[in-house]
Structure 1
Amino acid sequence: MLLSPQAEKNWEGLCSVLEDVLEDQSHRQLFAVELGSGTGQHVIRFAQKMPFITWQPSDINEESLNSIKAYIAATHAKNVQEPAHLDASEPWEQWAGLHRSSCDVIVAINLLQYSSFKTAQGVFTGAGQILRQNGLLMTYGLYAINGTITPSCNEDLDAELRKRNPEWGLPDMDVLIVSHIR
């Protein structure tokens, strides 16, 4: 199993937000997809705290998929499906057999800064197709706003990410919004 100290640090806050937003729907069974599940720590914790949601973890990386499987086995999570290989930059029809209007929730945690703009476009386009009416897309991560990154430590992270891969970096909220309004 892979272990991310950052995931251990922030899962409770993220889970609290999800619980608050989904509280009025806890009387029915929901279906959620986590894009870029990474280690699997978030999806397992979310599943434990919100048993009314069936979770579909996914990732593009084989090592991450194996880690997610290990977390599922270690925790005996009943409401987490086997992880699926999913590349959000691909057309939504190729998203692990997910069907139009089949999801109540899509979660993408720290995915967009480690992805190309094509992936970000894919996340929003795919979510528009597979989310049910009134479904929820929750992204979490660091973002630029109108070209500005604050504080300076986030500028350093952006530079480091772009050095690792020129297509990565903190996405600009304004660019994401404008590109999906059309």
Structure 2
Amino acid sequence: MKAHRSTSSHRYKKQVNTAADRNKKPILEVIKKYISPYVERLSKECRSLYCLEISSGTGQHVAYFAPHFPSVIWQPSEVDKSSFSSISAYIEDSAVSNIQQPICIDICEDYTKWEGGKIGKQSVDFMVNINLIHISPYKCTEGLFRNAGQVLKSGGILFTYGPYAFHGKISPESNVRFDSMLRYENPEWGLRDIDQLTTLAMESSLRLADIVALPANNHILVWNKD
């Protein structure tokens, strides 16, 4: 899949998320650990890898990650098209050619409906999803795993980042308060339990390969596609 760049200026439309600025570096270090071996192994084949980001938000993450992986084509996506101009602005300012323009993806829909079938079955090497699972209805999490099981190639990886409950318990107290705040704002939101996610993932041939603790009581969960 060939990347392309926007030639018009979008700088004035850039949005800034302070949490994204804080967490992008530690997230990158974990992603590097898992993606770099794929890049090295396939370098002799002269083949690009493909990474789909679900819920790209402002575009800060994809613009920060992509320059570190020039042989990986990055595809940002958002359900909210009002975010597109900010994502495009970050793409333009990144000065790299391996980020595609954002596409609209409703993760609750089947992948065959995404952008008229732009993302095919077993066409994706990696998926990245940051801060969606706890700030969305559970049906979005179900859609994430269900679709990841379809579009990821065998051996592909799904990275999810955020705060989680572990074996029926939320800790530390700051995460307990955060969970209560989320549920007060929307009863369908809240921290999901890792056991619940593991069961859900197994239904789509995904298995939990690693749990990496990161700052601010967040974790990256690394899921492998069988």
TM-score range, shorter chain: over 0.9
Q: Deviations over 1:136-175 (max 9, x none)?
A: 0010111111221100111111111112221111111111
> Is residue 34–residue 43 contact of structure 1 (8 Å, CA) maintained in 2?
yes
Q: Between the two proteins, what is the percent identity of the paired residues?
A: 38
Mapped pair 1:103 → 2:124: yes
Structure 1 vs Structure 2 CA RMSD: 1.3
Q: Which residues in structure 2 correspond to 1:151-170 (within 5 Å)?
A: 151-170=172-191
**Counterpart in the other structure of 1:4:** 17
**Bigger Cα displacement from structure 2, 166-175 vs 36-45:** 166-175
Q: Which residues in structure 2 correspond to 1:71-110 (within 5 Å)?
A: 71-96=90-115, 97-110=118-131
For 1:93 and 1:159, the matched residues in 2 are separated by 36
Q: CA deviation at 1:93?
A: 1.6
**Counterpart in the other structure of 2:135:** 114
For 1:167 and 1:62, the matched residues in 2 are separated by 23
> Is residue 30–residue 54 contact of structure 1 (8 Å, CA) maintained in 2?
yes
Identify the match of residue 75 of structure 2 among 20, 31, 56. 56
Identify the match of residue 32 of structure 1 among 48, 51, 56. 51
> Is residue 51–residue 75 contact of structure 2 (8 Å, CA) maintained in 1?
yes
Question: SS state of the match for residue 107, structure 1?
Answer: strand
For 1:85 and 1:47, the matched residues in 2 are separated by 19
Aligned CA distance change for structure 1 residues 44 and 144 (closer, same or farther; 3 Å): same
**Counterpart in the other structure of 1:174:** 195
> Is residue 36–residue 60 contact of structure 1 (8 Å, CA) maintained in 2?
yes
> Is residue 34–residue 107 contact of structure 1 (8 Å, CA) maintained in 2?
yes
Q: Deviations over 1:76-129 (max 9, x none)?
A: 331110101111111122233210000000000111111111110111110010
For 1:8 and 1:179, the matched residues in 2 are separated by 30
> Which has more radius of gyration?
2
**Bigger Cα displacement from structure 2, 103-112 vs 144-153:** 144-153
Higher helix share: 1
Q: CA deviation at 1:133?
A: 1.0
Identify the match of residue 45 of structure 1 among 64, 83, 104. 64
For 2:202 and 2:146, the matched residues in 1 are separated by 11
Alignment length (residue pairs) = 182
**Counterpart in the other structure of 1:13:** 26
Higher strand share: 2
TM-score (norm 1): 0.95
